[in-house]
Structures are given as structure tokens and as C-alpha cells.
Amino acid sequence: MNIKQRDFEVSGALEKYAEPLELLAYLHHGPDGSPALRHAWRLLLENSPHDSICGCSVDQTHREMFPRYDRAEQLARQIARESIAHMIRNAEVPAGGALAVFRPVPGAAAILEADVPLDWASFDRLRTTLAHEFGHVHFHRHLWAEKFMTGRLFDRRSTENKVICKRDSILDAKDSDWMEWQAGYVSGAILMPVGPLRRFVSDFCGKRGLHAAVSLASEPGQQIVNDVMARFSVSEDAARVRLLKLGLLTVSTQQPSLFG
């Protein structure tokens, strides 16, 4: 059983990580990692004869299989690391740092764990950024696939919409920048669903006898923003933009009247 488990782990490392990442890096003028990949697969195939992988050969044969699995896995991990490093070196990274994410299976559920520098922005801002990038992955993946195949993912001369998100557009993009606008809206909808958010603001206003639109610049408006930040674990900018887009806060300081 442990032989087949090890085979599954190593073949997955090669098929789901090393090979696709090496191809992406090569398409973007990276080094050719195919010789190392061929060697890793050869080591794996040496463990694939029927009697070997089924555990019905002599003990010495099985003892020799595990070092081959280890070497193949080491090659797979090294190829994946070097390929990622090449692509990141060619990407436009914000001055404060960035988090690069690779999903080996499109559309599959994923759990992300990351250690980030202490001087990065708060955890709330990180959640906002990750939700924004998920919006890109879900709705724009067909555009990215085309860029991967043509090697234009990191083309800085291109005037097309890019897969590079910056702080000045990640939350409140212009309507004309449709990719960023959609990803930003997805981020707000995931982290602050409209139903719970409306009920939260309604309860806040009801307890204080507020029956008209609340101005963002007012004391209650600022309190709503702070309470939404705490309740939904989002950044101040994300809370402000979502509340304004849904009309739960207004930028006007004048109270509406029956005459407009």
C-alpha cells in the first residue's frame, strides 16, 4: 500500500506542478527544464513494473524503489520552484510586496496558507486581495489561458487588460476597466454578502432612529464603516466602497427631502 501511495504522490508532483509550471516558464523565455523532467519520469517508470509496484517482488527490489521516488520528487519540487521564481522575476510586483498563487487544478476548491511579512498590510486587507484575485481566476481564466499559450502574460508593452492588480484599482476600479471592476465586485460580494450587510446596517440605523440616508462623513457613517470592518473582517477601504456601491452610505452631507 505504501508503495502505491508514494507513486501517487510523486506522479502528482510531476504532473500537477512540475510540468505545467515548467511549460509556463518556458513559454515566457525561461530555461528548458525538459531534460530534468524526463529524468524524473524515468526514475518513476523504473518503479512501475508489475511485480515492483504491486509489492510482490523480493524485499531488496522494494527497498531500492523508495530512493528513486525520493529523487524524482526532489527533481519535481526543484523544477516547480525554479519555474515559479522565473515567472515572478518577470512580473510587476508592488513595492510593498505581493503574494503569488498557483492552482494546479482549475475550478477545484483550494485552501491557502501563507506566512507574510509583518510589515505587510493587515490580515483584513489580505483577505480582500485574495477574494479579488479569486474573481479573476473564476471569471477571466479563459483570457489567461490564451495569454499563457501565446507567452504574453508578462508583456509590459501590451495595452490590453492585464492580470496585474494594483492597490489604486483593486477596490474601486472604473467601469471602463471591466476586468478589475468585476473582480472588485466579486471581492465585496464574497466578503460582505448583500443580505447580511443590509440587515447589519438596518439594525444599526434602527437602534439609533436613523431613517434617512447616512452620510459617509458623519459620525454614524464612520461608525458603520468601523463596525462593518469588525463584523466582516475587511479593510476600511473595502467596507467603504461596498457600502457606497450598495447605497447604504452616501457621500452627500445633505438630508434628502420630499422635494429632492
Within this chain, do residues 179 and 211 fall inside the same structural domain, yes or no? no
Report the alpha-carbon angle 220-225-227, nearest 5.
90
Nearest-angstrom CA–CA distance, 49 and 54: 8
Residue 223 has pLDDT above 70, yes or no: yes
Structural domain includes residue 115: no
pLDDT, averaged across the chain: 80
Within this chain, do residues 61 and 11 fall inside the same structural domain, yes or no? yes
Higher pLDDT, 105 or 183: 183
**Is 248:138 a contact under the CB 8 Å cutoff?**
no
Residue 161 has pLDDT above 60, yes or no: no
For the ranges 82-86, 130-134, 163-167, 218-222, the lowest mean pLDDT is seen at 163-167
Final residue of a structural domain among 45, 69, 89: 89
Within this chain, do residues 219 and 170 fall inside the same structural domain, yes or no? no
**Is 21:84 a contact under the CB 8 Å cutoff?**
yes
> For 109-148, what is each residue's pLDDT tens digit?
656 666 665 555 556 777 788 888 888 878 877 776 666 6
Question: How many domains are contained in the chain?
Answer: 3
* Residue 164 DSSP symbol: -
Domain of residue 177 covers 123-190
Taking residues 21-29, what's their average pLDDT? 87
Structural domain includes residue 59: yes
Strand partners, 215: 250
Within this chain, do residues 9 and 72 fall inside the same structural domain, yes or no? yes
Residue 157 has pLDDT above 70, yes or no: no
C-alpha cell at 253: 452631507
CATH number of 38's domain? 1.20.1270.50
Structural domain includes residue 259: no
Final residue of a structural domain among 190, 221, 237: 190
> For 60-89, what is each residue's pLDDT tens digit?
888 889 999 999 999 999 999 899 888 878
Give the count of beta carbons closer than 10 Å to the beta carbon of residue 105.
8
Within this chain, do residues 164 and 138 fall inside the same structural domain, yes or no? yes
Residue 177 has pLDDT above 80, yes or no: no
pLDDT at res. 187: 87
Within this chain, do residues 149 and 198 fall inside the same structural domain, yes or no? no
pLDDT at res. 57: 85
Structural domain includes residue 66: yes
Within this chain, do residues 8 and 83 fall inside the same structural domain, yes or no? yes
Higher pLDDT, 124 or 170: 124
Residue 1 has pLDDT above 80, yes or no: no
Final residue of a structural domain among 89, 105, 131: 89
pLDDT at res. 28: 83
What is 50-86 written as a DSSP string? Answer: HHHHTT-S-HHHHHHHHHHHHHHHHHHHHHHHHHHHH
Residues belonging to the chain? 260
* Residue 260 DSSP symbol: -
Within this chain, do residues 147 and 220 fall inside the same structural domain, yes or no? no
Structural domain includes residue 100: no
Residue 254 has pLDDT above 70, yes or no: no
Structural domain includes residue 62: yes
Within this chain, do residues 139 and 85 fall inside the same structural domain, yes or no? no
Structural domain includes residue 177: yes
For the ranges 23-37, 85-99, 229-243, the lowest mean pLDDT is seen at 85-99
pLDDT at res. 85: 86
How many Cα atoms sit within 13 Å of 81 on the Cβ side? 6
Structural domain includes residue 108: no
Within this chain, do residues 185 and 198 fall inside the same structural domain, yes or no? no
pLDDT at res. 22: 92
Burial 237-251 (b: 16+ CB within 10 A, else e): bbbbbbbeeeebbbe
Within this chain, do residues 6 and 85 fall inside the same structural domain, yes or no? yes
**Is 192:232 a contact under the CB 8 Å cutoff?**
yes
Higher pLDDT, 163 or 57: 57
Q: Record the pTM.
A: 0.48
pLDDT at res. 258: 44
Within this chain, do residues 14 and 82 fall inside the same structural domain, yes or no? yes
